Amino acid sequence: MIEFALPWVLIALPLPLVIYWLPAKNKNEAAPLRMPTLVQGLPSTEAGTSGKKAPLSLLTSLWVLLVIATSQPQWLGDAVNIPTQGREMMVAVDLSGSMQVEDMSLNGNSVNRLEMLKVLLGEFIERRVGDRIGLILFGDDAYMQTPMTFDRKTVQQMLDETVLGLVGKQTAIGDAIALAVKRFDEKKESNRVLLLLTDGQNTAGKIQPDQALELAVAKGVTIYSVGIGADVMIQQSLFGQRRVNPSSELDEKSLKRLAEQTGGQYFRARSSEDMNEIYQLLDQLEPVEQEQQQMRPLTALFYYPLALAVILAFITLLIKSLPYLLPRQSKNHSLGGQHD
């Protein structure tokens, strides 16, 4: 629906009529309203009604449009649910060199661990309506890729644009946890959740995981850790096929300790199906906030009547100028005929 930010301005709509019908004290006395030069020169009533109606209708429309534009019309959109409080969820994604191992299957195709994360983690982020989500990438160091935001599409876009080797080939788990704890806002009513996704163990960084764990416990951060990687993978060699464990470097013991001591939980993702189940379980463990408020977005519309008013003003000036242009043209033609 349309509403006006300054509806009282609409009272000025009949103002020209009120001034026009005000009785003068003396017939010889000048009119109470001095007309602008724009109105002067318009055909009078003696010249006939046909020449008067068009300019008068233009001036009337011009006045109405200007008053409407001044009243600031705006479109009141449909109600949008806004949560009164939600969760602050930081997602830390491992970009170490081992994330390029192609031991995952997605839609029947063999993909590496990072490509699988991009698809399934993007779907998880899309469902977190009402949560403020941030994205951390860690390798040799930990970097804040996206600060806390309600804009889930931006977080997904930044996740899709990540590439292996962007932040090094090692694994700085402790730095990632410490950075996440540091970036959580001081909001007592929010749940601070860290989703830690890795396929290895801490091999780099300035802060050890135990030190980062102390910070997380002190700040009330809940860590859900996910160990990524299959248990068995078939490799081709000169002597034929052999079975290897691509997740031999995964430090499950440390990841379990991080989760348990912060009130979270450790998950093991050996396939894309496991990862999808983990995200669904997280939706149950950390449900999206249901208590919501409603807001209705406002869109300004004043520039439409204002633009029409400018066009009508130009047309009015053009009509007013025609009587002065046509005689000059005819005079020039007559002079030209005498010269010949």
pLDDT tens for 202-232 read 998 899 999 999 999 999 999 999 999 888 7
Mean pLDDT of 11-19: 84
- What's the CATH code of the domain at 209? 3.40.50.410
Q: What is the pLDDT of residue 44?
A: 44
Both 151 and 262 in one domain: the answer is: yes
| Residue 293 counted as domain residue | no
Which residues does 209 contact at the CB level (< 8 Å), separation at least 6? Answer: 173, 174, 177, 202, 254, 258
Residue 334 pLDDT level (bands cut at 50, 70, 90):
very low
Mean pLDDT of 265-271: 90
Both 115 and 183 in one domain: the answer is: yes
Both 265 and 117 in one domain: the answer is: yes
Both 130 and 266 in one domain: the answer is: yes
Both 192 and 233 in one domain: the answer is: yes
Q: What is the pLDDT of residue 197?
A: 94
Both 135 and 274 in one domain: the answer is: yes
Both 41 and 134 in one domain: the answer is: no
For the ranges 4-13, 289-298, 320-329, the maximum mean pLDDT occurs at 4-13
Identify the weakest region by mean pLDDT among 17-26, 163-172, 248-257, 268-277. Answer: 17-26
Helices (H) and strands (E) in the chain, counts: 9, 15
Domain boundaries, position 243: 83-287
Residue 154 pLDDT level (bands cut at 50, 70, 90):
very high
Both 88 and 148 in one domain: the answer is: yes
Q: What distance in Å separates the CA atoms of residue 336 and residue 328, rounded to the nearest whole number?
A: 12
CA-based nearest residue to 132, from 93, 85, 94: 85
* Boundary-marking domain end, from 249, 265, 287: 287
Both 64 and 143 in one domain: the answer is: no
What's the whole-model pTM score? 0.61
Mean pLDDT of 226-245: 74
Q: Which two tokens stand for residue 91?
A: 């997602």
Q: What is the pLDDT of residue 285?
A: 85
Residue 317 pLDDT level (bands cut at 50, 70, 90):
confident
Both 117 and 156 in one domain: the answer is: yes
Both 272 and 161 in one domain: the answer is: yes
Mean pLDDT of 45-61: 56
pLDDT at 340 over 70: no
* Boundary-marking domain end, from 258, 287, 316: 287
Rg of the chain on CA atoms, in Å: 36
Both 113 and 252 in one domain: the answer is: yes
| Residue 292 counted as domain residue | no
Q: What is the pLDDT of residue 102?
A: 86
